[in-house]
């Protein structure tokens, strides 16, 4: 569509740089990682639902995290695989905004659930006598519902701001999905408001959970140091270390992507960082948070033994 001397873009071309063989290799690699992510996270949901002994706040949050990780990766990876296989990498402007909306929603609910899990561990370790009264089912359901509502409004804000921009230069997005920085780089409109919202509102959504996680674990560590049992200390530190490693991986790569000025946007490095928190982190979450958990292992053994018995 043309407006004056400008040609307004109504669709975009998604794709990664490289030869056809390299792209097909990436498609197979991403498909394998996607299937592992779906299988691992679905297994968590099934295990938690199977054993009523796991109907506890921590496992309620973990099952929600597993569901979000499934949605998170399903927003981007299947579309990329289809684009490579069918060699039709075009996505409409509406489709691009829809993908952006759901991606921002799921990435934010993922980070907030990491914060909630840290708070749950803080209450369990530092205030064990008040755990059942604080982390009751009604509170947990309200908390998760509130997180979904807040993240949807946050995603809607970014999506509406992006919808008001004009794109009249190139329509090639050097990325495997529609993300903020690649789209802002293509816009020929004034993007100062978008950038300000990313740094202020996006920074609030990114830093607040991270600060809460650090405070929670600071209090947890101070409590753990008072434990007299060496075995108890090692077990607690091991669990916290796994959680914090995922937190650092997720927040480190996401912050590097979204809080780098669009003028400094480098497609290759941005894509690599995006792969880390959109593909790798959801894949390792089941193994770190749940599949290494003794209660989860016992439930898995009971499930498989029951199937073999019948």
Contacts of 24 (CB under 8 A, 6+ apart): 84
Q: What is the pLDDT of residue 258?
A: 63
pLDDT digits (tens, 9 = 90+) for 269-306: 666 667 777 777 787 777 776 556 666 767 767 766 65
Q: What is the pLDDT of residue 124?
A: 84
Q: What is the pLDDT of residue 189?
A: 83
Q: In the chain, which stretches have pLDDT less than 50? A: 1-5, 308-310
Nearest to 206 by CA among 263, 285, 260, 125: 260
Q: Please state the domain extents for the chain.
A: 12-308
Distance CA 3, CA 42 (A): 48
Q: What is the pLDDT of residue 265?
A: 52
User: pTM (2 decimals)?
Assistant: 0.83
Q: What is the pLDDT of residue 64?
A: 92
- Burial bucket for residue 45 (CB in 10 Å: 0-12, 13-18, 19+): middle
Nearest to 108 by CA among 66, 149, 59: 149
Q: What is the pLDDT of residue 274?
A: 72
Domain spanning 12-308: CATH superfamily: Rhodopsin 7-helix transmembrane proteins (1.20.1070.10)
């Amino acid at each position: 569509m043309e407006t004056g001397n400008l040609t307004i873009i109504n669709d975009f071309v998604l794709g990664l740089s490289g030869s056809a063989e390299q792209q097909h290799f990436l498609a197979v690699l991403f498909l394998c990682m996607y299937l592992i992510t779906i299988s691992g996270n679905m297994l968590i949901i099934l295990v938690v639902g199977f054993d009523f002994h796991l109907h506890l706040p921590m496992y309620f949050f973990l099952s929600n995290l597993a569901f979000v990780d499934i949605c998170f990766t399903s927003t981007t990876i299947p579309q990329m695989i289809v684009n490579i296989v069918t060699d039709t990498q075009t996505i409409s402007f509406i489709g691009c905004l829809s993908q952006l909306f759901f991606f921002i929603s799921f990435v934010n609910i993922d980070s907030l659930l990491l914060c909630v899990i840290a708070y749950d561990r803080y209450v369990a370790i530092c205030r064990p006598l008040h755990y059942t009264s604080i982390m009751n089912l009604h509170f947990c359901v309200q908390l998760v519902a509130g997180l979904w509502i807040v993240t949807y409004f946050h995603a809607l804000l970014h999506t509406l701001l992006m919808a008001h921009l004009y794109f009249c230069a190139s329509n090639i997005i050097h990325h495997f999905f529609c993300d903020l920085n690649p789209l802002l780089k293509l816009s020929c409109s004034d993007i100062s408001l978008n950038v300000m919202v990313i740094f202020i509102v996006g920074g609030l959504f990114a830093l607040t959970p991270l600060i809460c996680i650090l405070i929670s674990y600071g209090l947890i560590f101070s409590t753990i140091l008072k434990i007299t049992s060496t075995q108890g200390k090692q077990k607690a530190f091991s669990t916290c270390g796994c959680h914090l490693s995922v937190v650092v991986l997720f927040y480190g790569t996401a912050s590097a992507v979204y809080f780098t000025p669009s003028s400094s946007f480098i497609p290759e490095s941005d894509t690599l960082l995006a792969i880390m928190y959109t593909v790798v982190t959801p894949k390792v979450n089941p193994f770190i948070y749940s599949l290494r958990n003794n209660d989860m292992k016992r439930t898995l053994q009971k499930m498989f033994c029951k199937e073999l018995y019948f």
